[in-house]
Structure 1
Amino acid sequence: MFTHGTVTVRCFAEVAALPVTPVTCKRPGTRRSGGLRYNDRSTIASAACEVPMSRWDDETFATWHPRDVRRLIRTGELRGRSTSGMCSGYAQANITILPKSLADDFEAFCSLNPGAFPLLYRSEPGELTAPPLAEESDIRTDGVYSVCKNGRLLPESGSLLPYTDQLKDMVTFYTGCSFSFEGAFLEAGVPIRNVEQRRDVGIFRTSIRCQPFSSFDCEVVVTMRYIPEDKLETAFRVTHWTPTSHGAPIHIGDPAMIGISDVENVDWGDVVKATPGDVPVFWPCGVTMEPAVMSAAPSIGFFTHGTKGCLFLCDIKTTFVKDTNMADTPSLVQISQDPLFYSVTSEKAVSRVRELERIVLPPREAQNGCLSDTHDEGALLKSSLSLSHASSVAVVVATYPEQESIPQERCERLQGAVAVTAMLQALGKEVTVVTDENSTKLVDTIARELVRVGYLKKAFTVLPYPKCDIPSTDKSTGENGPTNLKFDHLVRIGESAQEDRSLDQLFPVKLPRIKTTGLSTDGSDTWISTDYTIRAGVSSWGVWALSMALFVLNACPIHDRYLRRSVGTARDMTDAVAAAISLEREQLALSVVLKQTNNMERSGELQFSAEQKGVITAMRNLAVPN
């Protein structure tokens, strides 16, 4: 094939290799039924010589049937066009073709990374068609491909016809693509900025790692779409119900949080411009197949060319799996403005967390049925979502053991600290307890005793403040040398003694990308600056509510998938169930705290009241249904 001016000339030998199938073409501005029909190779060859490549520039192909567009791709007339926006309502597929010796491993890799690789069909070795997905298809000519040999990327292949012999021993994987849900977006009133701007979607490498399997090991590649803020939840729900098209987004907000430093510097596709009020939203992308195949370094492999965005068009409609059940209805929550970040869970989980918040309201608010001016409604939900995304948490608590006996409220505070620590540990977080210098030995002893009696899986690290200057440094020197003390979230339990506000210095200092939660009793510590302030009638109640809110969120499949970026398998909640509060567990923790604080003679006085027992039972029954 060669080009003279604007006319493309196709040699007869190339055209002769095309299947003998009728081709329906459409002139810009006409109905499909008014297009020209070519019935033989000579007519196709003649048309290829006479029709300029610019013929289809003004055609979106949104209303075309996929088989008609595939025929144009097959003849080379649309080989340079992205299929984004084409054949609205129909599925599109990314293609990966590998030697049959790697096929089982790649299928297992797909199952571990369903966001990037929602498998639609696996062919038999040498099979060039995809009967469940499309009629009259030929994988050799119905797309634009990259070629990989021994981990090295070769120049683009216009078609795979020259590789027909190699394909006899290769397996083709058809995996879903986000282009498939664009029609549903338009029906739901969600604008598609890249289609509006006649561009391909922007595609980026990230810092998120796929779950490796055998020789396949790479980072997740994502597409970014700008979505108006008031359409975010609609966009999330539409794609949540289309799991075969990559499903719901895996990140909403600041691109830097997933390793994208500059959205103007795309790795594949085109730069798309935002409209005021738009929020960047990221979906797993089938282009992840490129680094995946490169990592396995097969003797030869083929995959959809990421730069062109020309995918395999399927004759099947996009699959929707919609459920009106609250447990399967996503609910978005903005949990941070700097950096901009949204999290997600189900409507059912949101309802349960809000009920936990009502259970622990300070008495006057619970009795009056209204919230005080100082109550931050929704703080429990936002705080628990933020903590769920954290990897390293500091729980800040003061006890002041130099006093003859520790007051009841401070015993409850210690008990609350170990309760939330147990849940955070069960969810895989690194937890450090920061306390006043005089209390470090006491808190460390309590931690070790709680491990001995089976309340905790492992002892937590205990650090003193102010000797450990957390706000100004990421490192401190411990017994074994420098220790990384970088935290994602600080949780402050209760107020400091009036004579010593040193612990409170952690909170007025705003640290970049570190969120803070304050838990206090009715109306206290309103001057302390935290991102989320949870108020409760009793200090330990608020901590118990936070612990159980974390359980509710992580037991939610929608939140779990978003949390792990659709990589790997669903969380095993066995440890979290064991760490959930119960009368037996909290009585055990209280007895350890009383023993270590020399308060055993007051054990009768400090036992749980009927009201406290009722609160524990209500939380347990709400969060961990039988």
Structure 2
Amino acid sequence: MTISFLLRSCLRSAVRSLPKAALIRNTSSMTEGLQPASVVVLPRSLAPAFESFCQGNRGPLPLLGQSEAVKTLPQLSAVSDIRTICPQLQKYKFGTCTGILTSLEEHSEQLKEMVTFIIDCSFSIEEALEQAGIPRRDLTGPSHAGAYKTTVPCATIAGFCCPLVVTMRPIPKDKLERLLQATHAIRGQQGQPIHIGDPGLLGIEALSKPDYGSYVECRPEDVPVFWPSPLTSLEAVISCKAPLAFASPPGCMVMVPKDTASSASCLTPEMVPEVHAISKDPLHYSIVSAPAAQKVRELESTIAVDPGNRGIGHLLLKDELLQAALSLSHARSVLVTTGFPTHFNHEPPEETDGPPGAIALAAFLQALGKETAMVVDQRALNLHMRIVEDAIRQGVLKTPIPILTYQGRSMEDARAFLCKDGDPKSPRFDHLVAIERAGRAADGNYYNARKMNIKHLVDPIDDIFLAAQKIPGISSTGVGDGGNELGMGKVKAAVKKHIRNGDVIACDVEADFAVIAGVSNWGGYALACALYILNSCQVHERYLRRATGPSRRAGEQS
């Protein structure tokens, strides 16, 4: 049965059975057999474009149906039921709100040339909080829970161009997983948040100053969690600058027959989410489906085989590959480094472990549309340029990637390398990856596995990783197979205890994520494969695009 038929045939009796005061509800209210929805009324000429806009931005604008404005709801006398069902509608003229109306009778003629859209507002965050056992927080004002305009653009379609609007609830850090389980149980993928962490990553300057409604206070142990808001429709109405339009005010909506089919169809085991921290500064979490996460864990176990019996099993940290891949998935610009000059009697002295893994990762980052560059030792620049040229000839890389060198002498030089004009607020890269890159030991030297000092062959690229630790927004990953590689400082205690010569050779510089592999190339390949898995995961893909723009079908790659 179509939505338009439901509205025409079912709503008359449903509405008449409710008391007049029950026809306006806050977003958290529900009535048995009915669900809350918001209304947008636009000129017929804009209807196809707005329908496409909603279909292209289903997260904030889940469209239930549309119809001629005078036929959408059962008529009482000669007046459109829009007036009766929702006594309050905001009136817009050329994108400006000119007031709130309690009657549309004076616009009866214009309504004949207008179309009504019904937008689903049935997902209740408060219901999810209750199911997860998380107490509700009191609002700081008398209105509904706050909503915020972001700098995240919705997909632009035929004149409709507006920012995403989100709503926020503060959630204790230790209850994030429980909340996501509850939202999935209630509404599946459509109930999942689109951002967890620092509001600044959405362009929100102050949580205490919502654009709509009242602020919900965050406590020190809380993490801000954001969902797409149907109030995005108001921004869309403003953006189209229609000569006349109407829309439900914030916190005020109509009740329509419950759409049970759409909510039931989205509850699938493949969509059960997991949440993982990927950055402390700024605070940022990501989500992925449980099946996709399990595939990455199996990959992590596969590359942890220790062919040299060096004891690398003692260095393993759970989910480092998954968290590194999630962080890379969110990155826009990635800097990759490699190079371990351990063969003194060869020219060049580099071992073959490292560059192939770096190229494999760079190729997949490039395929995902991320800016990718490499930084290598000055003496090995020509070698890596030839490797990149060969990768292009063989079709591994689509286009050349920039190859940089760094021979700075101070932290100031490293910051200048990482940031535009040396400004920490403008980093050139948001993720650094070292794959089998010689790492600086505690005494300032660089050692191979046999304790031979190779400092004279190594440029101070470690300083870039050290400088990145103090620049918000830059994360790092180290891939190694022996503990003396750049980034392995995160597991240096285990290296010193379990790896031969570890007390001397252990790298002292740590990365945010330490990926341990039997061969470091395997780690580079695994990062590329993990990114492929994430790119195929609908839960992660929706989170990555903030539920705006068209979604991909299961298994479809970008």
TM-score interval, normalised by the smaller of the two chains: 0.7 to 0.9
Match for residue 457 of structure 1?
398
Which structure 2 residues correspond to residues 104-503 of structure 1 after superposition, within 5 A?
Answer: 104-129=48-73, 138-143=81-86, 144-177=88-121, 180=124, 182-193=126-137, 199-240=143-184, 247-275=191-219, 277-306=221-250, 309-316=251-258, 320-321=263-264, 326-363=269-306, 371-372=313-314, 374-398=315-339, 405=346, 410-466=351-407, 469-473=413-417, 486-496=428-438, 498-499=454-455, 500=458, 502-503=460-461
SS at match of 1:266: coil
**Does residue 1:504 correspond to 2:462, yes or no?**
yes
Unaligned ranges ≥5, structure 2: 1-11, 439-445, 447-453, 486-491, 493-507
- How far residue 185 of structure 1 moved from its aligned partner, in angstroms, is 4.1
> 2:189 and 2:321 mapped to 1: Cα distance?
33
* Contact 1:89/1:184, CA 8 A, preserved across alignment: no
Greater CA deviation, 499-508 or 179-188?
A: 179-188
> 2:107 and 2:346 mapped to 1: Cα distance?
82
Which residue identity is paired with 1:428?
Answer: G
* Contact 1:412/1:540, CA 8 A, preserved across alignment: yes
Q: Which has the higher contact order (CA 8 A, sep 6+)?
A: 2
SS at match of 1:507: helix
* Deviations 1:518-572 (CA, angstroms, capped at 9, x unpaired): 0111333432211001111111011111111111111111111101111112358
SS at match of 1:397: strand
* Deviations 1:254-298 (CA, angstroms, capped at 9, x unpaired): 111111110001100111223553321111111111121111111
- How far residue 169 of structure 1 moved from its aligned partner, in angstroms, is 1.2
Alpha-carbon distance change, 574 to 196 in structure 1, aligned in 2, over 3 angstroms = closer
Question: What is the CA RMSD across the aligned residues, in angstroms?
Answer: 3.4
- How far residue 176 of structure 1 moved from its aligned partner, in angstroms, is 1.3
- How far residue 225 of structure 1 moved from its aligned partner, in angstroms, is 1.4
**Does residue 1:91 correspond to 2:35, yes or no?**
yes
> 1:467 and 1:493 mapped to 2: Cα distance?
21
Give the aligned length: 496
**Does residue 1:556 correspond to 2:537, yes or no?**
yes
Match for residue 71 of structure 1?
20
* Deviations 1:389-446 (CA, angstroms, capped at 9, x unpaired): 0010000123669966357973231111100001111111110111122223332332
TM-score by length of 2: 0.80
> 1:70 and 1:554 mapped to 2: Cα distance?
49
> 2:189 and 2:16 mapped to 1: Cα distance?
20
- How far residue 508 of structure 1 moved from its aligned partner, in angstroms, is 2.3
> 2:188 and 2:318 mapped to 1: Cα distance?
37
- How far residue 155 of structure 1 moved from its aligned partner, in angstroms, is 1.7
Alpha-carbon distance change, 547 to 205 in structure 1, aligned in 2, over 3 angstroms = same
SS at match of 1:200: coil
> 1:198 and 1:253 mapped to 2: Cα distance?
26
* Deviations 1:133-172 (CA, angstroms, capped at 9, x unpaired): xxx9922232322111122221222333332221111111
* Contact 1:217/1:292, CA 8 A, preserved across alignment: yes
* Contact 1:84/1:195, CA 8 A, preserved across alignment: no
* Contact 1:400/1:438, CA 8 A, preserved across alignment: no
- How far residue 196 of structure 1 moved from its aligned partner, in angstroms, is 11
> 1:575 and 1:323 mapped to 2: Cα distance?
18
Alpha-carbon distance change, 113 to 470 in structure 1, aligned in 2, over 3 angstroms = farther
> 1:507 and 1:361 mapped to 2: Cα distance?
24
- How far residue 471 of structure 1 moved from its aligned partner, in angstroms, is 2.5
> 2:98 and 2:466 mapped to 1: Cα distance?
56
Which residue identity is paired with 1:507?
Answer: F
SS at match of 1:363: coil
Alpha-carbon distance change, 245 to 438 in structure 1, aligned in 2, over 3 angstroms = closer
Which residue identity is paired with 1:492?
Answer: A
Match for residue 41 of structure 1?
none
* Contact 2:198/2:224, CA 8 A, preserved across alignment: yes
Unaligned ranges ≥5, structure 1: 1-22, 25-64, 478-483, 578-626
> 1:326 and 1:396 mapped to 2: Cα distance?
39
* Deviations 1:287-314 (CA, angstroms, capped at 9, x unpaired): 11112111111111111112xx111122
* Deviations 1:335-374 (CA, angstroms, capped at 9, x unpaired): 2222221111111111111111111115189999x941x3
Match for residue 54 of structure 1?
none
SS at match of 1:140: helix
TM-score by length of 1: 0.72
> 2:375 and 2:112 mapped to 1: Cα distance?
64
**Does residue 1:539 correspond to 2:511, yes or no?**
no
- How far residue 189 of structure 1 moved from its aligned partner, in angstroms, is 2.9
Alpha-carbon distance change, 246 to 404 in structure 1, aligned in 2, over 3 angstroms = same
* Contact 1:327/1:346, CA 8 A, preserved across alignment: yes
Match for residue 598 of structure 1?
none
Alpha-carbon distance change, 71 to 406 in structure 1, aligned in 2, over 3 angstroms = farther
Match of 1:100 among 44, 56, 67: 44
**Does residue 1:518 correspond to 2:478, yes or no?**
yes
* Deviations 1:221-277 (CA, angstroms, capped at 9, x unpaired): 111112233432333344346669953110011111111110001100111223553
Which residue identity is paired with 1:99?
Answer: P
> 1:348 and 1:202 mapped to 2: Cα distance?
34
Alpha-carbon distance change, 228 to 171 in structure 1, aligned in 2, over 3 angstroms = same
SS at match of 1:410: coil
Which residue identity is paired with 2:137?
Answer: R
> 1:313 and 1:114 mapped to 2: Cα distance?
20
